[in-house]
Each structure stands twice: as structure tokens, then as C-alpha cells.
Structure 1
Amino acid sequence: MNLFYNKNGVGDVLMVTIDPVTEGLVYEYENDITIIKSESNVVGFNIFNASKYVQLEGNGNIKVQEKHINSIQDLLEKNHIDYKLEADLSSKFVVGYVTEKSKHPDADKLSVCQVDVGDETLQIVCGAPNIDQDQKVVVAKVGAVMPSGMIIKDAELRGVPSSGMICSMKELDLEGAPNEKGIMVLEDSYTVGTPFFEDER
């Protein structure tokens, strides 16, 4: 589940994305709530006059917290909308360790990496020229919302499954990002599996 709120740009509307489907959408309306469906499945909600119902800080992509889930669920129930919210509150940007790197079988500029993120090992296809084995890196896990607004999903790149993204400083919108292409390589002092951003701790 992802939340987006920009009062100055959009108005007092909280956009709740459950499944980032963009085609074949139908809309149902219940007071201040627009229910967004695709093939009868709920894929999101737009909540108008959102500040009356949900405590929100900042603009743009909002880090989902338990208080948000509780407030939205309460609002759905008060409007007799039969839907149970589920959200993974674990950190989506974590420190990873590249345990293996091999050439992509069908693309010279892509590498297939096995990346330890603490509680699991992810297979991630990476196109960065400086990716290598035994590096500590920043991993955007499936479900992460990038600063650009892109949502990280399971994918296949030239036929090879990939779960997550190894990030560059530019993709993370960090100050001092170099112009050259390449992922961000972390110092050895970082601990594998821990959140990369302080506000995710």
C-alpha cells in the first residue's frame, strides 16, 4: 500500500494505491471516498477532505504508518465499505550485500546479482557498470516508492526474474549525486538488513 498527498498541488486529497493498475479502471463514490476498482478488485482509494480523517505530515509520498492504516480503515468502516487494508510496514530501502554476480544470459550490459538483505536473499538484475560482488549497496525492495514516484515491483528483465532494485545516489535523490552512471557503493560500516534512511528506523 502506498500513500500520496500534496495539498498545494492536488488539494486535500489522499491517494491510496493498493495495486498500481492504470487500465480498465472503474470508480464508485461513497461520501468523501472514491473507490477505484479493476475487474471488480479494489486497487485504490481517493479520500477527499483527507486532513479531517487522517493525520498527515509533509507532501508527496507518505511513509505508511500504523496510525494511517487505522484511520483509513475506520473511515472505510464508517462508510460501510467492506475492505480490509493490509500493509507491509517494514523498511523498503535497506542495506544489502552482493554475494554473487554473474552475466545476464541475454544482455551484455546486465548483471544478475544475488543480494543478501538480512532476512532473505534477493535476485536482482542490475545494469550499473560498477556493480560487483562483495559490495554493500542500497536495495529498494518490492513495494518501495522511489522519489520519482515509481513503485518497485517484481519484474523480468530479458527473461530473468528480478525482485527489487540496487540504487544509485541519483535514484535516491541524494545530494551530491554524480553524473556518471553507477550504483551507490556503501562503506563496510553499514550493517546488512538495516534501514538505509534514518526515518525508517
Structure 2
Amino acid sequence: MLISSYNPAQAGDVLMLVVNQDQGEQAYEQKGQVVRIYAVKDQATLGFNFLEAKNVLPDLEGQGQVFLTAAQVAKLNEALVAVGFEAELVVDEEPKFVVGYVKEMTEHPDSDHLHITKIEVDGQKELQIVCGAPNIAVGQNVVVAKVGAMMPTGAIIWPGKLRGVESFGMVCSARELHLPNAPQVRGILELDATEYPAGRAFDFAKAANLFTPAQ
């Protein structure tokens, strides 16, 4: 997993990378212009911050989550080795926001509003996702934020449990995706299956025209 964020307006020329989910007590060590964040318990690397990132990646651009190419990841690994860290970064080109098809849905045994869904995503993979949206139903095409997705707020989607049931992603509403003119109401975004076939990456640019401005 490799989740990358670059926001020079807020954080300066710092590229922030997440490679593992946060766990317990954390610590950090700095070598040169690279900071490694790791778990105290088992020393596992959780992420890296590259200070003065444009010295390593002159072509780096973005305001939020960025998607690094294989060539860029290779340069970052070279920079890690140069300062004395291991080359731990692995390129991740798998789409994290995809169109999913709701195949099954059952009621949560310990909730009056949660649903346990089985959703088919890219690669014909099937994810179990617990969802509380009142309008979710079998047969819908929906937007799924998979594990490793970074929401527009900066929150990262990790595996979790809701009332004791495992969940591996999130079914998104238009407002959670920060789509222009999105209705400010509860409920997931239901997509037209012809325009947005299941199994494909969700097209944010295309979806920017889903809602017309309020008159």
C-alpha cells in the first residue's frame, strides 16, 4: 500500500507517504531530509515524510492526494537508500475509488439501521461493506472507497468493524466525495449503470457534472 499526499499551500514542500495503518504508540527518526514514522511495538514502518520533496521529484504537483508513477517511486526509494533507510516503497496503481455493484444485502444483527452488503468491484472482487445509508439497495451501482482510499477530507479508509461486523471499504455519498453542487442530504450516490459500469475506476471529472447548481 502506498498513499501519497502533497499540499504545499498548507504543509510546504513536504510529500507525506502512508504505507501501513496507524497502530499504538508511534515514534520517528530523521535522516537527512527524510522522516520515517514507525510503530514502537514492532518497529514496522508506518510512513515517510520527504522534506524539500521537489529536490527528489522536481515534477511533483498536487493539492491533496497524489498518485505516484513507478518512476517517481523508484526515485524516492533511491533517496531512502541514500540517507540510510531501506527501499520500502512499492508502487500502487490500483484504483481506490471504483464503481461497485451491490449484489447482496442483509440487515445487521445488532443494529436497526446498518446493512451488511456484498459489493462487486474491479477485478470481479467482492467486498463486504457495512453501510448505514437509508437508500442503499441490491442492484445499485455505487461509488466504493476501497481500503487505502483517501477521502477529500484527508481521512483514509482502513478495514474496520461496525458493531462487531467486519467492513472493507465505504459506500460514498455525493457530498462525501465533494462533488460540485452535491445534495447535502443523507444517502449514498446511486449511479446510472450505463454511464458508470461496475468494475471501473470512478471518474471524478465526469461526475463533476452530475448535479446542476441550485437556482
| TM-score strictly above 0.5 | yes
Whole-Å separation in 2 of the counterparts to 1:67 and 1:24:
33
Whole-Å separation in 1 of the counterparts to 2:155 and 2:200:
22
Find 2:98's aligned residue among 94, 98, 111.
Answer: 94
Q: Is the 8 A contact 1:33 1:45 kept in 2?
A: yes
Whole-Å separation in 2 of the counterparts to 1:109 and 1:99:
19
* CA RMSD across the alignment: 1.5
**2:28 paired with 1:24:** no
Number of residues of Structure 1 aligned to a counterpart in Structure 2: 199
Segments of 4+ in structure 1 off by > 3 A?
A: none
Q: TM-score, normalised to structure 2's length?
A: 0.87
Question: Matched residues, percent identical?
Answer: 40
Q: What's the CA shift string for 1:69-92, capped at 9, x where partnerless?
A: 112111112222123212431101
Counterpart residue identity of residue 184, structure 2: N
**2:157 paired with 1:132:** no
- Segments of 5+ residues of structure 1 without an aligned counterpart are none
In structure 1, what is the equivalent of residue 45 of structure 2?
Answer: 42
Q: What's the CA shift string for 1:5-60, capped at 9, x where partnerless?
A: 12122111111111242652222111111111112111111111111102311211
Find 1:191's aligned residue among 171, 174, 197.
Answer: 197
Q: Secondary structure at the match of 2:78?
A: helix
In structure 2, what is the equivalent of residue 165 of structure 1?
Answer: 170
Whole-Å separation in 1 of the counterparts to 2:170 and 2:72:
26
Whole-Å separation in 1 of the counterparts to 2:62 and 2:88:
26
Counterpart residue identity of residue 79, structure 1: V
Distance change in 2, residues 1:127/1:198 (3 Å): closer
Find 1:53's aligned residue among 53, 56, 63.
Answer: 56
Deviation at 1:114, TM superposition (A): 0.7
More strand by share: 1
In structure 2, what is the equivalent of residue 180 of structure 1?
Answer: 185
Q: Is the 8 A contact 2:97 2:146 kept in 1?
A: yes
Counterpart residue identity of residue 136, structure 2: I
Q: Is the 8 A contact 1:138 1:166 kept in 2?
A: yes
